Structure 1
Amino acid sequence: MHFLSNVRHPDVEQVRAVWERYVQHQELAPDTLRPYVLRAWNRARASGCNPRLGRADLLGEHDTQQLLAERHELITATAPFLGALSRAAGENRHAAMLADTDGRLLCLAGDAETMADENFPRPGSLLDEAHAGANGIGTAIAENGYVELVGPEHFIEGFHAFTCQGVPITGPQGPMGVLSMSVRTLATADRVRDILFCATEAVECELLAKWLSGISGHEMAHTLERLRQDMLQRLTSARLRMEVAARRIAAGADVTAMVQTSKTMSAQFARQARTWRVLALERTGPAQPEPLALADIVQDLLDLLATEARVVGVQFEWGAADRVRVLDDHQALTRRLLGGFLSALQKAAPGSTLVVDVGAVAGLGRTALKERFIDGRVRPGPVVESLQVT
């Protein structure tokens, strides 16, 4: 996750005084604000945003309905995780929100009082910085990273009662939107932050799984479909863990271990998502050789193939894992390695172990396999890849 500041919990009264001077176009001391907040204020003022607004502008009814129809896939993928975020906040005033890349609010889940508040943003609200200034959605889009805005760090006055957090959502082919939490207390914000990160990465994997299901004509479609089904099973498990964690967080329980497990699973999903995109995206230009950490690519593929290996009764095990960098096209190398590992799995005896060695031999970065049988015998396997070391 891309963090934009190490400073936590600013002095709200000091920020409020700075905001008053700023909106009156008086001099601003730049070291009194978190840097991304100052950048957001400057962008908002340059765009003509009115800091005295009491609430966000709203699209018309027809345009809102059209927007929701166009973003139906994103809304559907996100809905279960918005619910989990809302449950994590419990009875405290809050809203879990989803917006598109233009900062237009698509849906939200919250407590009854917030959902009934006519001044609170609702589907169709314009939350980009040009309309709503610094906020958890518009600023996360502009900064392309996690943001948190506390009280008067928001640019428009109508948002000063809230603490907002936002995390960009990246789909298989680029940015898709923002997942955000709006709460009334810093304690609630601290409590739900980890769930917000987990939910965002799980949404990205849901979107990737949906995208992979639509590429049946791809040369690796059969392999990718098997891996996609594995991913869906893991997502189901992660969603259940997140739901349990959310309910326990709301009840005030210490769920550090459970949240850490969810974070670990989310991080694994994020790595696997990058590998899936490398495998599945169609090339639009010539190969682009670059320095690559061979062992890291191999590890990502072994994680991806863990279920496939269990199905055929074989396991992977590391032998040597030297830090070798090779020069090759990322997609081409990943696809060749995947093909080599799948071929080895198909030929391996049930119950055996495929030992993976990555190292440098005679100036070449080499990935090789050997098969160890149940009785301890070892059979040398193929050299899956051999490339020039950078």
Structure 2
Amino acid sequence: MSPPELDILEARRVYRSTGAIPAQMLRSTIYRAWERSHLQGANPQALQAEKLSSLATERLIEQKRTLIQIAAPYIRMLSQAAGTDRHAVMLGDSEAIVLDVVGDKQTVQGPEPFPGPGSLLSEAVAGANGIGTPLAEADYIEIISAEHFIDGFHPFTCQGIPLRDDKQNIIGVLSISLRRADARERLKEILLCASHGVEAELLIANLEKDVRRVLESNPNEYQPLEELRQDIVQAHQAARLKLEIVSRMVAVNRLDYAIQLLRQAEQSIQIFRRRAEIWRNLASFEIGTLQPVSLTDNISNLVDLLSTEAVIRQVQVVTDWYEPIIVVADPRSLLRQLLHYFLQALDHAGKGGTVKVLVKEIPNSELAQISFIANSVLNISQSTPTSQVFYLPIKSIKDEQ
């Protein structure tokens, strides 16, 4: 038995005999979890979690059906990655009540009780554990064997991470419990990536609602926004496919290539998040306040968002500026204005054409000039490029005072 394991056992002995929690013998996150568990009255000698009634569980599952359905593929991937190891993957709600469990038959349906749907895993009821503690800490948490507060959870090593919506509110938690502590390392990164995947799926669901809202209130804007939404959603589906492949490889210990794919999947999910945020700003027709905005960053973001559209149209997009430029504008209105000019320039350029976006400061005017210059190779009669120009006030020293 390792020194850390001996410290944990000694900490338990001291706590049970004196009621004191020896901080020096526990990791800081575990000490905080034990302290919260103790203060909230959790019973360290409990052998299993308490549960809601069958009726209350059915009602809760119906209420949380959208989250359960969205998380289901990622729960299955995590279980698949665990392979033949004894394990259980759990989804909990924001109150630490179990919504779904998937794992090997012996763990989930065997003679030893394992928390199923409706189980109460808040620290107040079940002590430090892989569902309640990540929610309490609002962060990824790992709890190894006897670091669990109640006796019934000691056979397991648990990892958990909160799930957040687009406003960063915690709406649930994803967790995996393993019988073999040494199996946790190869599953940690997959768990983190899977949680980000679930959050991305929630974003996709919200984007679909936004599309319907745009169609109802601004039908003229619907088609370009819907096409952009489809582009970013398809890119996320590619990330989900990578994670599926990773889960199969990890299950058979093909770790080197799996790690490369996992990093690609995580990177794709982060790109999706950024693009989804840009899209949602485009789809919002609210009028905001004038404020300093990075014009060049907004143009770069739109170039990225329109990259698939440019490839489909076979149009090359080029940007030209010497340094970042900050202007004073309503951020959302500016984005919509830039998109409007971009789409017009793409139309003018046509297949094989070029769109150049030129940004420069006008000397002695405190204005920035933005030019969208479309060069077409199809329209021979068009001897000069099509150019669209508009101006915005530059953020000045006065604006900073």
TM-score band, normalised by the shorter chain? 0.7 to 0.9
Superposed displacement of residue 380, structure 1: 5.6
Task: Determine whether 1:217 maps to 2:209.
Answer: no
* 1:202 counterpart residue number: 197
The CA distance in 1 between the partners of 2:185 and 2:370, in whole Å, is: 44
- What letter matches 1:142 in structure 2? A
Larger mean CA deviation between 215-224 and 203-212 belongs to 215-224
CA shift in 2, pair 1:126/1:27, >3 Å = closer
The CA distance in 1 between the partners of 2:181 and 2:391, in whole Å, is: 52
Encode CA deviations 1:294-334: one digit per residue, 9 max, x unaligned: 54444443332222222332243444474555565554444
Report SS of the residue matched to 2:56.
Answer: helix
The CA distance in 2 between the partners of 1:98 and 1:370, in whole Å, is: 51
* 1:240 counterpart residue number: 241
Which of 48, 54, 57 is the equivalent residue of 1:61?
54
* 1:388 counterpart residue number: 395
Larger mean CA deviation between 299-308 and 51-60 belongs to 299-308
* 2:161 counterpart residue number: 167
Report SS of the residue matched to 2:174.
Answer: strand
CA shift in 2, pair 1:373/1:42, >3 Å = farther
Report SS of the residue matched to 1:119.
Answer: coil
Q: Within 5 A, what are the aligned runs for 1:332-351?
A: 332-351=333-352
Task: Determine whether 1:115 maps to 2:111.
Answer: no
- What letter matches 1:162 in structure 2? F
Superposed displacement of residue 65, structure 1: 0.8
Report SS of the residue matched to 2:120.
Answer: coil
CA shift in 2, pair 1:109/1:310, >3 Å = same
Task: Determine whether 1:129 maps to 2:132.
Answer: no
Which of 27, 32, 38 is the equivalent residue of 2:31?
38
Q: Which of structures 1 and 2 has the bigger CA Rg?
A: 2
Identity of aligned residues (%): 36
The CA distance in 1 between the partners of 2:133 and 2:291, in whole Å, is: 33
Encode CA deviations 1:266-320: one digit per residue, 9 max, x unaligned: 221232233344445686xx84666655544444433322222223322434444
Q: Within 5 A, what are the aligned runs for 1:46-125?
A: 46-117=39-110, 118-125=112-119
Report SS of the residue matched to 1:213.
Answer: helix
Report SS of the residue matched to 2:119.
Answer: coil
Q: What is the CA RMSD across the aligned residues, in angstroms?
A: 3.2
The CA distance in 2 between the partners of 1:385 and 1:347, in whole Å, is: 23
* 2:150 counterpart residue number: 156
The CA distance in 1 between the partners of 2:200 and 2:134, in whole Å, is: 20
Task: Determine whether 1:185 maps to 2:180.
Answer: yes
Taking structure 1 as the reference length, the TM-score comes to 0.84
* 2:306 counterpart residue number: 305
CA shift in 2, pair 1:25/1:198, >3 Å = same
Larger mean CA deviation between 298-307 and 241-250 belongs to 298-307
The CA distance in 1 between the partners of 2:140 and 2:368, in whole Å, is: 37
Equivalent residue pairs, number: 379
Taking structure 2 as the reference length, the TM-score comes to 0.82
- What letter matches 1:202 in structure 2? G
Superposed displacement of residue 387, structure 1: 4.2
CA shift in 2, pair 1:11/1:299, >3 Å = farther
CA shift in 2, pair 1:236/1:44, >3 Å = same
The CA distance in 1 between the partners of 2:229 and 2:33, in whole Å, is: 39
Larger mean CA deviation between 155-164 and 339-348 belongs to 339-348
Encode CA deviations 1:206-244: one digit per residue, 9 max, x unaligned: 222222222313345444422332233223322221111
Asked whether the 8 Å contact 1:10–1:150 carries over to 2, the reply is: no
The CA distance in 2 between the partners of 1:264 and 1:10, in whole Å, is: 38
Superposed displacement of residue 78, structure 1: 1.1
CA shift in 2, pair 1:46/1:258, >3 Å = same
The CA distance in 1 between the partners of 2:131 and 2:305, in whole Å, is: 32
- What letter matches 1:203 in structure 2? V
Asked whether the 8 Å contact 2:314–2:352 carries over to 1, the reply is: yes
The CA distance in 2 between the partners of 1:331 and 1:132, in whole Å, is: 46
Superposed displacement of residue 379, structure 1: 6.5
Superposed displacement of residue 16, structure 1: 2.9
Asked whether the 8 Å contact 2:96–2:131 carries over to 1, the reply is: yes
Report SS of the residue matched to 2:195.
Answer: helix
Report SS of the residue matched to 1:53.
Answer: coil
Superposed displacement of residue 187, structure 1: 3.1
Asked whether the 8 Å contact 2:351–2:377 carries over to 1, the reply is: no
- What letter matches 2:56 in structure 1? D
The CA distance in 1 between the partners of 2:225 and 2:77, in whole Å, is: 29
The CA distance in 2 between the partners of 1:292 and 1:38, in whole Å, is: 44
The CA distance in 1 between the partners of 2:3 and 2:264, in whole Å, is: 30
CA shift in 2, pair 1:298/1:124, >3 Å = farther
Superposed displacement of residue 76, structure 1: 1.0
- What letter matches 1:256 in structure 2? I
* 1:275 counterpart residue number: 278
- What letter matches 1:388 in structure 2? K
The CA distance in 2 between the partners of 1:23 and 1:296, in whole Å, is: 58
Superposed displacement of residue 25, structure 1: 4.8
The CA distance in 2 between the partners of 1:333 and 1:240, in whole Å, is: 35
* 2:381 counterpart residue number: none
Report SS of the residue matched to 2:164.
Answer: strand
Encode CA deviations 1:97-118: one digit per residue, 9 max, x unaligned: 1111111111121112112135
* 1:142 counterpart residue number: 136
- What letter matches 2:251 in structure 1? A
